[in-house]
Structure 1
Amino acid sequence: MYAAVILLVFMCLTATTHADHHHHPCHAPNMTGFMTVTNLKGEVRAIGAFTYDSTAKKLRFRSNESTPINTSLHLDLLVFFEEGILYEIDSKNQSCEKKKLQCNLHPLDIPDDATFMATMTFGSPSVEGEGIKLNLWTGSMRDTKGKYTMSTTMGCLPLSALYYTGSTTFCISNLHVIFVSLPHSHVDIESEIKEPELLLVPSFCQGLSVEETPEGTVNSFLSEFM
């Protein structure tokens, strides 16, 4: 399984790599953009817009029901990683589920204990302006006994994240990268929070009690796609 996962990430990159053991995990800035979640078979699980506050560690993800791709999940998630709370929002029915978050791992931030793998070039390193350098990171998912591989630009903007645990593997990537191709022109990530109100708990969700977590269940952003 490990070899298959690494191949999926590396096949989209050139073979130009050089290790550097002095890299330390960076942290992404505030972001607004689009992402897609697929499994190892290439099946799209969800696709939609996200807003991320890197300082307050808040993330909103809303799957885009207007996309022409037939996705298997329609989600509206609001995650407070510092508080350890995840909201599943149903705006149509004005209802919410409030859950305790057991795992803080998510695709927009590199964990502090991540291990640097290599710097690679996306595209052609020999043609000026045609290559983008990426840093690759890897680590263990302690809560699910799985592993992950993440790639970022040199400025720490996340490009893709691959998670694998047991028999389930997910590749989460931003849509303006070639891991996923969609017929839209507005999928670039912006280093700002364009709609801060999206990171507020909706009025119909306020005052809810945290639901009990069944034994053996791990609530996390990633588990919503499994």
Structure 2
Amino acid sequence: MFAAVTLLVLMCLTATTHADHHHQPCHSPNMTGMMSVMSLKGEVKALGAFTYDSTAKKLRFRSNESQPMNTSLGVDLLVFFDEGILYEIDSKNQSCEKKKLHCTLHPLDVPDDAKFYSTVHSGSPSIEGEGLKLNVWTGPFSDLKAYYSISVTMGCLPISMFYFSETTSFLISNMEIEMEIKDPDLLVVPNICQGLPVLETSEGTVNSFLHEFI
């Protein structure tokens, strides 16, 4: 499965690649943008806006419920990676769940233990304005039989992440990225979530940003 998805990534890019064993994982800046989550079968799982604080390690993702997609998930997630907490927010019903975060892997930063795979060109490297140079990083997903492949620009803006396992695979794409936090209030715990206890997690359940789409 790992080899198959890696091949898929390379098929979408030009053959201009080279390995560099001196690469070190970079870390993304503060960002605001749009994110889509799509299965490799073409099903749109979620589409919405994100806000990411790279210093405080906080992420807010709200799927756009106005999108006319019956298959998209209506999720509102606030994740505090350093604190190990994930909030599932339902503003419509004024409810919230506070969960322990089991894995900090997410699609907006390169993990410290990621392995550099290659540098590739999306589009044409020889025509000005028609290509994008990307670094591709890969690694395992915790102790599960799953892997990821994340592509970032030379400035460490995350463009896409493939998640793939024996049972499921999906692609997360980031668009319209701006290197700023436009609304800091989105990263503050809402009133409906304050003072909540951490819910007990049933055996075999993994709470993480990516597992919200599995």
How far apart are 1:116 and its partner, in Å?
0.5
Residue 147 (structure 2) aligns with: 147
Residue 191 (structure 1) aligns with: 179
Does residue 1:225 correspond to 2:210, yes or no? no
How far apart are 1:38 and its partner, in Å?
1.0
Q: Which amino acid aligns with 2:26?
A: C
Q: Please give the alpha-carbon distance, in whole angstroms, between the structure 1 residues aligned to 2:42 and 2:57.
A: 29
Q: Please give the alpha-carbon distance, in whole angstroms, between the structure 2 residues aligned to 1:159 and 1:171.
A: 11
Over aligned residues, Cα RMSD in angstroms?
1.1
Residue 52 (structure 1) aligns with: 52
Higher mean alpha-carbon deviation, 2-11 vs 103-112, is at 2-11
User: TM-score, normalized by length of structure 2?
Assistant: 0.97
Does residue 1:204 correspond to 2:192, yes or no? yes
Residue 100 (structure 2) aligns with: 100
Residue 166 (structure 2) aligns with: 166
Q: Which amino acid aligns with 2:72?
A: S
Q: Which runs of 5+ in 2 are unaligned?
A: none
Residue 13 (structure 1) aligns with: 13
Q: Which runs of 5+ in 1 are unaligned?
A: 177-187
Q: What SS class does the counterpart of residue 71 from structure 2 fall into? A: coil
**Cα deviation digits, residues 186-224 of structure 1 (max 9, x gap):** xx1000000000000101110000000001111000111
How far apart are 1:143 and its partner, in Å?
3.5
Higher mean alpha-carbon deviation, 62-71 vs 205-214, is at 62-71
Q: Which amino acid aligns with 2:2?
A: Y
Q: Which amino acid aligns with 1:214?
A: S
Higher mean alpha-carbon deviation, 119-128 vs 51-60, is at 119-128
Residue 120 (structure 2) aligns with: 120
Residue 184 (structure 1) aligns with: none
Higher mean alpha-carbon deviation, 206-215 vs 67-76, is at 67-76
**Superposed, which structure 2 residues align to 1:78-93 within 5 Å?**
78-93=78-93
Q: What SS class does the counterpart of residue 178 from structure 2 fall into? A: coil
Q: Please give the alpha-carbon distance, in whole angstroms, between the structure 2 residues aligned to 1:198 and 1:8.
A: 35
**Cα deviation digits, residues 77-136 of structure 1 (max 9, x gap):** 000000000000000111100000001100001110101111111111111222211000
Q: Please give the alpha-carbon distance, in whole angstroms, between the structure 1 residues aligned to 2:184 and 2:74.
A: 22
Q: What SS class does the counterpart of residue 70 from structure 1 fall into? A: coil
Q: Please give the alpha-carbon distance, in whole angstroms, between the structure 2 residues aligned to 1:12 and 1:30.
A: 28
Cα contact 2:47–2:72 (8 A) shared by 1? no
Residue 137 (structure 1) aligns with: 137
Residue 110 (structure 1) aligns with: 110
**Cα deviation digits, residues 136-161 of structure 1 (max 9, x gap):** 00011124231110000000000000
Q: Please give the alpha-carbon distance, in whole angstroms, between the structure 2 residues aligned to 1:100 and 1:110.
A: 22
Q: Which amino acid aligns with 1:198?
A: L
How far apart are 1:18 and its partner, in Å?
1.2
Q: Please give the alpha-carbon distance, in whole angstroms, between the structure 1 residues aligned to 2:124 and 2:57.
A: 35
Residue 41 (structure 1) aligns with: 41
Q: Please give the alpha-carbon distance, in whole angstroms, between the structure 1 residues aligned to 2:118 and 2:67.
A: 35
User: TM-score, normalized by length of structure 1?
Assistant: 0.92
How far apart are 1:165 and its partner, in Å?
2.2
